[in-house]
Amino acid sequence: MIKVENLVKQYGDFRAVDDLSFTVEKGEILGFLGPNGAGKSTTMNMITGYNSATEGNVTINGFNIYDEPEKAKRCIGYLPEIPPVYPDMRVREYLSFCTELKEIPKKDRAAEVERVMELLHVKHMQNKLIKHLSKGYRQRVGLAQALVGNPEVLILDEPTVGLDPMQITWMRGLIRSLGKEHTIILSSHILFEVNAVCDRVLIINHGKKLVIDTPENIIRTLGGTSGVRLVVRAEEEDFRMAVGSLPNISRCEKLSEDVGEGLTAYAVYSSDGAEIRDRLFALCAARGFCLFELGAIQKTLEDVFIAMTGEEGSTI
């Protein structure tokens, strides 16, 4: 378990992290999001003990990271954005070195190296120099070192960077599997990945917590419905005029989708956020428009993130 209480990191008059509190339970994967400069990396460095806090506490499995740093750090496996690998060492040699750093008993070190190599599918690369590995395999070796000793807590910063699409899918499955037995904080630039893998999401900005909840709840409560998508068979001018006659409609957009011969897709938006699907259905029935599809256009986690942080794009 990770417990962060009233965490503050201050540089002069500037607070990089400002009174941040949250808890991550065992068996939970927390997505950690924030735009550049939000204080995300600073927070992760304080959680792992690489940086001290100005105020507040971090507890890892009951050990305070500042009062009992050795005990707390033994519970943590950390994969930073740039994996801490030694390019002139071979994969097996490097992971063996990691077992020494983490004080794995000598009799268990060889078996532990075998375990993490099998888990990350790098055994066939064991005798290669790390500098000759692809970026994706370096990422795997970096995650392997984080898993040496089977720590209860995993802090993963961009774990899928450099992986191809098949490797990304495999890595997401591995992280979900690890989440059953570990406490995981996952930072990622890919919001689809966060939505697919994480149980809850924490969004921060300017060092402050904006929201922490499940991706579904965040989208439902903060995103709402941005519009309605329809596929109809009707003359465009007739359809637009009919929709324009409805109250509280802000706009009607023709979508550039190939939905079939004689069919057209539209996005219709209300001016006040009210539900309009019932009115559009009744309109099509009354005017004789043949309605093929009707559904809400839901905002995504990315839409909510941009709205909350004021950031365009998905740079986190």
Taking all residues of the chain, what is their mean pLDDT, rounded to a whole number? 92
Residue 311 falls within a domain, yes or no?
A: no
For residue 59, which of 6, 133, 14 has the smallest C-alpha distance? Answer: 6
Q: What's the pLDDT band for 139 if we cut at 50, 70, 90?
A: very high
pLDDT single digits (tens) 273-297: 788 999 999 999 999 999 999 998 8
CATH number assigned to the domain comprising residue 184: 3.40.50.300
pLDDT single digits (tens) 157-175: 989 887 888 888 999 999 9
Percent of the chain with pLDDT over 90: 76
Q: Is the pLDDT of residue 235 over 90?
A: yes
Q: What's the pLDDT band for 226 if we cut at 50, 70, 90?
A: low
CB 238 within 8 A of CB 252: no
Specify whether 80 is located in the same domain as 110: yes
pLDDT (0 to 100) of residue 313:
42
pLDDT (0 to 100) of residue 189:
83
CA-based angle 72:158:141, to the nearest 5? 75
Specify whether 121 is located in the same domain as 70: yes
Domain of 28, in residue numbers = 2-214
Q: What's the pLDDT band for 137 if we cut at 50, 70, 90?
A: very high
Residue 120 falls within a domain, yes or no?
A: yes
pLDDT single digits (tens) 72-98: 999 999 999 888 899 999 999 999 999
pLDDT (0 to 100) of residue 163:
84
pLDDT (0 to 100) of residue 268:
94
Between CA 58 and CA 56 the distance in angstroms is 7
Specify whether 27 is located in the same domain as 56: yes
Specify whether 283 is located in the same domain as 157: no
pLDDT (0 to 100) of residue 315:
36
Specify whether 201 is located in the same domain as 238: no
Q: Is the pLDDT of residue 311 over 70?
A: no
- Total number of domains constituting the chain: 2
Q: Is the pLDDT of residue 120 over 60?
A: yes
Q: Is the pLDDT of residue 1 over 90?
A: yes
pLDDT single digits (tens) 14-73: 999 999 999 999 999 999 999 988 999 899 999 999 999 999 999 999 999 999 999 999
Between CA 31 and CA 5 the distance in angstroms is 18
Residue 12 falls within a domain, yes or no?
A: yes
CATH number assigned to the domain comprising residue 234: 3.30.70.260
Structural domain ending residue among the three candidates 192, 214, 236: 214
Specify whether 81 is located in the same domain as 121: yes
Residue 258 falls within a domain, yes or no?
A: yes
- pTM score: 0.80
Specify whether 158 is located in the same domain as 294: no
Between CA 316 and CA 313 the distance in angstroms is 9
The 10 Å Cβ neighbour count of residue 99 is 21
